[in-house]
Amino acid sequence: MIQVLGRLTSINVRKLVWALDELGEPYERQDWGLPLRDPNVPEFLALNPNAQVPVLIDADGTTIWESNAILVYLAQTRGALLPASRGELALALQWLGWQASELNPAWGYAIQALMRKTPGYDDPDKIAGSISRWSSKMGILEDELAHGRPYIAGSELTIADIALGLSIHRWFGTPFDKPDLPATKAYYDRLRERPASRNSLGAETP
């Protein structure tokens, strides 16, 4: 059976859980990651030298880290959650890459300050700067979603929607004054209606 290594409080682990639930694939999950189980041990580092979760071990022993690469692997090996047309496939991969390289880095300081309440993250200018960068990226997503397609790459859910959905869950779950993003809210509600998203978008930790 597929093994998922990573705590469910991790946004990146929840990507895999959601994708596997969409695929109807049974899996076992182990609670690796701080504070539950320190990944800085030889047993874990042999699987992922970055000491980060998630790691996926497929039934045939194939072992992968990097959550978005794992999403692509699951979609390709199971023949689902990626569009068949080249144009839509490119769009899905575009938004998948954007989620990791543009959107997520924007919230770094704000999440430490407002969600995790990490000591030392209390500089009002830095909090405001992070919120401003985060809001600006969310504005890009809002403009795209305002075009009216039900999912980011077309009419069907793809792995890009899973990655974006988790980032949006974090946006709505973090306490600060937010600009109104009606298309994003409608998209988020659509994603939350999917039974397979419950274990991921239903999580209290944004």
102 binds ligand GSH (CB under 6 A): no
Separation between Cα atoms, residue 41 and residue 96, nearest integer Å: 30
174 binds ligand GSH (CB under 6 A): no
**What crossing angle do the helices spanning 159-173 and 11-23 adopt, rounded to 10°?**
130
Q: How far is the CB of 54 from ligand GSH (least distance, A)?
A: 6
90 binds ligand GSH (CB under 6 A): no
**What crossing angle do the helices spanning 159-173 and 86-98 adopt, rounded to 10°?**
30
Task: Using CB under 6 A, pick the residue from 25, 58, 66, 144 that binds ligand GSH.
Answer: 66
Lay out the sheet containing 63-65: strands in order across. Answer: 27-30, 2-5, 55-57, 63-65
Q: Pick the closer one to ligand GSH by CB: 8 or 186.
A: 8
Q: Pick the closer one to ligand GSH by CB: 11 or 168.
A: 11
Q: Pick the closer one to ligand GSH by CB: 34 or 59.
A: 34
What three-state secondary structure class fits 31?
A: coil
Task: Using CB under 6 A, pick the residue from 16, 67, 130, 201 that binds ligand GSH.
Answer: 67
